[in-house]
Amino acid sequence: MQKSPGEYSPLDMMGMGLAAAVGIAAATFFDLTQSDEASTLFVFNKWLARLTEMLGLGNIPLYGVVLILMGIGALSILYFQPVTIRGAFAQGFGVLAAVTTLAPSDLGGALPSPDTEAASLEPLPAGDNSWFEEEGISSRGLVPPVYRVPVSSVTAVQRDEQGYSIRMKIIFPDGLDRQPSELIDSGDLRGKLHNEESKQTYNLFRNSGADVMYRDGTMYLSSRIPGDIPRASLVARVEAEGYRIVESRFDASLGVNPVWTIRMAPSSQPLLLQRLRRPYWF
């Protein structure tokens, strides 16, 4: 039996609010699984991280964003006043759809191409054991057989421009169960690189102009990050199915830097659960 809005008791309102909150939760699950890394939840988490940083609080994990959105959905019944539990649940979906229009997806910028000619002319830092020497790979001939999508807006950094030449080595001890390109397309392999000085974030694997190569359980990546500050703090986040999500920091200097090695740790926990427990501050 339906009631008019003024006839609902506090218990009825709590039930409506719970239904709307569950609708929000269901919608966020579909958004995370279907939108992949384009989900606006990551953008909300980044915005929230900036707010908590200004307030001197710690970063809130992704599930905190979901709880806040569920609270918004529960409170929305006070304004929209659905007349059935089913309507309240559907309203939760609608509220999330409206809220997500406020935040465009952010995949990160395209990682610039390496200045291979300049890098080959510059001497390597003392004591540096480049993977080029260890693995017998030419720094000039890194051909990416796995995944490289050149973007027209990405141009090679000229030799006279300053920047941070990085060479990243990501080690997967148990290897990858599929081709990296398949993992990237399915959302099971993701990566972001953040420059804390310029606040610029790059996507490691998608729309990248970087040289990327995968062989024998190790991924090699070469790029040159724009910048003119003598030292920059870089942070990389790598996510791969079957491994624990890793955040690694690296202090980069202008010019050629030592190899940045990231070793992934095997994990049986699904990536979705790991992502919910992690703050996405960049």
Q: Which of 70-74, 133-137, 174-178 has the lowest mean pLDDT?
A: 133-137
pLDDT in tens, 181-235: 999 988 899 999 999 999 999 999 886 678 888 999 999 999 999 999 999 999 9
Beta bridge partners of 222: 167, 211
Taking 70 as the threshold, does the pLDDT of residue 14 lie above it? Answer: yes
Nearest to 223 by CA among 114, 137, 143, 119: 114
CA atoms within 13 A of residue 273's CA, in its CB half-sphere: 7
Domain residues of the chain, as ranges? 5-100, 109-270
Question: What integer pLDDT is reported at residue 161 of this predicted model?
Answer: 53
Assigned token pair, 4: 């008019």
Of 159, 120, 121, the residue nearest 139 (C-alpha): 120
Using an 8 Å Cβ cutoff, are 205 and 120 in contact?
Answer: no
What does pTM read for this prediction?
0.74
- The percentage of residues in the chain with a pLDDT greater than 90, rounded to a whole number, is 39
Specify the pLDDT at position 123: 39
Separation of alpha carbons 254 and 241, rounded Å: 33
Classify domain 109-270 at the CATH class level: mainly beta
Among 11-20, 118-127, 155-164, 241-250, the range with the most confident prediction by mean pLDDT is 241-250
